[in-house]
Amino acid sequence: MSDARDEEGLGWAGDDDPTLAPEVRGGPGAAPRRTVLDEAEDAEDRAAEHELEEAERASAQLSSVALIGLGVLGGVYLLYTIGWAVFFSRYELAIDVTFGVFSDLIARTLAIAAAPLWFVATLLLTQRRDLRYRFLWLVIGVLVLVPWPFLIGGAA
């Protein structure tokens, strides 16, 4: 039950004019001519698809064995962090604030933070490298960051 006056606001004069239709190459039924905007959208779509394929390829590269290995090495680094924290928690700091006490506090903090920092830095810096290269650096960190004072029961 719409009135013709209501329909007037929904269209423009000359909407049905065939000369205003998009230009068509090759006659009726052919695809409309592509514009620069269409080409840019297609290029953007291709770039997005390429990024998605790379991300899928990167996530598929880690096999189950590699994930288990990363988990085990991550656990070792976590144990190292706990070992350093336990070792340093056994001893109290001096009350007076001298340069020696301050530098000792910094050294203890860095010793505790070294293991997780090495693990995260290795994962971030070896993202685009071979998986063997990543594991090599993680194993080097396991050998270098061992909390020897905690393991042999030494004094701080």
Residue with more model confidence, 32 or 87: 87
CB 115 within 8 A of CB 81: yes
pLDDT in tens, 100-120: 888 888 988 998 999 999 999
Flag whether pLDDT at 47 surpasses 70. yes
Task: Round to whole Å and give the CA distance between 142 and 109.
Answer: 18
| 69 SS3 class | helix
- The residues spanned by each domain of the chain are 64-152
CA distances from 129 to 60, 70, 89, 118, 123 (A): 15, 15, 38, 17, 10
pLDDT at 154: 61
pLDDT at 97: 79
